[in-house]
Amino acid sequence: MATRHVQAESAPVWIRNGHSTASRLGASLDNDATHLGTAGGDSKFGCGPAQAKATDDRITATGFGK
């Protein structure tokens, strides 16, 4: 259960990008996660390790466009 870890790691991203919605930030974190199993989420690895710094850097540089 990585929920608490992802929540703690993503808090600074939420603070710096608070103008966005939770679902939009969540989708960005999911897209930037390092996928370990099949593409997308799966029952063994979930979405993979969060890359909150990479997400924050990308949002800062380009907004939510990827």
The pLDDT averaged over each successive group of 10 residues in the chain (66 residues) is 73 82 83 79 78 86 70
Terminal-to-terminal C-alpha distance of the chain: 28
- Do 30 and 18 meet the contact criterion of CB atoms below 8 Å apart? no
pLDDT of residue 55: 86
At a CB cut-off of 8 Å and minimum separation 6, what does 51 contact?
Answer: 29, 32, 33, 34
pTM of the model: 0.68
